[in-house]
Structure 1
């Protein structure tokens, strides 16, 4: 009971070891359930492909990570990872930049709000996957359409987040800056941006899951390389021994990207991190 109170109590402050143990518990339970299910299915059918054994998964992962593909001569895991991350970084970067610019324009300038706010509100309501066929028809099936899907799926949401962040700033700051002779450029670059950039990093972090979703969907439909392309290519063979490592690899990449952005926040904007704790 004491241990439960230390974890679940309203004022609980579990130590590092306790947090690790409790945090890893769901993963161990999920792994145990999978191992049990795999064992049962292989007792009934040794050739079962739905729940491959850990040995089968490890073998497929090793081949993907270290063996060259006979047709292309590439090591498929790293080739697919490079293709996907290139698309993802470009798409998320462009979405973050455009979202920041539009968010600041609508948050600082009344004319910007009048011009762009209705447009951003409408774009944010459009399901990005619904316009994927339009993008492929108009932009082709090359890299541009895949990157455009990520940008269109994220930039309006990031822009609205930036708009709200700008409007949440104390208006007294802008009034004092104007009193001291600051112009519009000074207001944007010396008052607004230093305070909303940390929120931009946070908004980008929260958008990573959606960015991966759009990327995988685009690669599944029209691509010749990429993590999503590989998953949907081998699904026709029921190659779960390869699909599962790819899914875990995507999950790890997403976690590392999130961890990296959180590290940047702590390094560059410690005051922002402290204000949230």
Structure 2
């Protein structure tokens, strides 16, 4: 039997950062070794080089007077925000499908089929129909993520205790009241968990769309500087994307913890 021992907060903190520190030390070691052999090595930049590249992208305007990191972050962020409108619409759609048998029969197999189609496989079709503008990039994110969110919410709604729904019906509650006042308040934190766990897929489809056709964006910038083997910029952008995604995930977790205290009890 495993013995349960009480750990200090310092121990927990050290354990949580141990792998990060280990990776940083190993990376710095290999970067240092490569630069001893070739001071002009571009494949494994040092942390000083990455910090310099990040600083230039953040605080120094390019020849067009644009601060690249800010401009790329705003462009990518706008695409994500627009797609999130459809993602939350998918939560509502899944709840309706789980409650009403007619919508279940009409939409379930349709979304189940679409969920199995790799979104990147239809990217050329999106470019043909919608062109190379913003619509195709947002559509790629929506097609890649929303069916999964709909099906996940659908299963949550189907598993909702039917006696509570029947009780609401006997008390003359309307369909909208059942959805918005009974079902959604209970399954919404689970839907938020599903969204945050699928956020990596959202970023993946965002970068894929930007890499093929864009004039600004985090994914666009990574693939542009790839031509010049500018690994210092690429890695700094990758770290920036990871940091933003982590902060969004932490923000959603904090919101769930404060607004739905019963959820993780």
Matches within 5 A, 1:28-67: 28-67=21-60
| Structure 1 partner of 2:17 | 24
For residue 70 of structure 2, the aligned residue among 71, 78, 82 is 78
| Structure 2 partner of 1:237 | 228
Provide, for residues 127-181 of structure 1, a one-character-per-residue CA deviation record: whole Å limited to 9, x for no partner. Answer: 0111111111111111111111111111110011111111121111011112222
Indicate whether 1:262 and 2:253 are aligned: yes
Indicate whether 1:168 and 2:159 are aligned: yes
| Structure 2 partner of 1:188 | 179
Which contiguous aligned blocks of 4+ residues in structure 1 show a shift greater than 6 angstroms?
none
Provide, for residues 18-65 of structure 1, a one-character-per-residue CA deviation record: whole Å limited to 9, x for no partner. Answer: 221111111111111111111111111111000111221111111001
Matches within 5 A, 1:76-155: 76-97=68-89, 99-155=90-146
Provide, for residues 63-86 of structure 1, a one-character-per-residue CA deviation record: whole Å limited to 9, x for no partner. Answer: 00100001x211100100000111
Aligned length: 265
* Aligned counterparts of 1:269 and 1:10: Cα–Cα separation in 2: 32
Computed over aligned residues only, the root mean square deviation of the Cα atoms, in angstroms, reads 1.5
For residue 211 of structure 2, the aligned residue among 199, 215, 220 is 220
* Aligned counterparts of 1:233 and 1:27: Cα–Cα separation in 2: 28
1:271 match: secondary structure: coil
Cα pair 1:92 1:154 within 8 Å, conserved: no
2:203 match: secondary structure: helix
* Aligned counterparts of 1:13 and 1:120: Cα–Cα separation in 2: 47
| Structure 2 partner of 1:249 | 240
Give TM-score, length-normalised by structure 2.
0.96
Shift of 1:184: 2.0
1:85 match: secondary structure: helix
* Aligned counterparts of 1:15 and 1:91: Cα–Cα separation in 2: 42
Structure 2 segments unaligned to the other structure (5+ residues): none
Cα pair 1:166 1:192 within 8 Å, conserved: yes
Give TM-score, length-normalised by structure 1.
0.92
Shift of 1:11: 4.1
* Aligned counterparts of 1:122 and 1:13: Cα–Cα separation in 2: 49
Cα pair 1:92 1:150 within 8 Å, conserved: no
* Aligned counterparts of 1:79 and 1:242: Cα–Cα separation in 2: 15
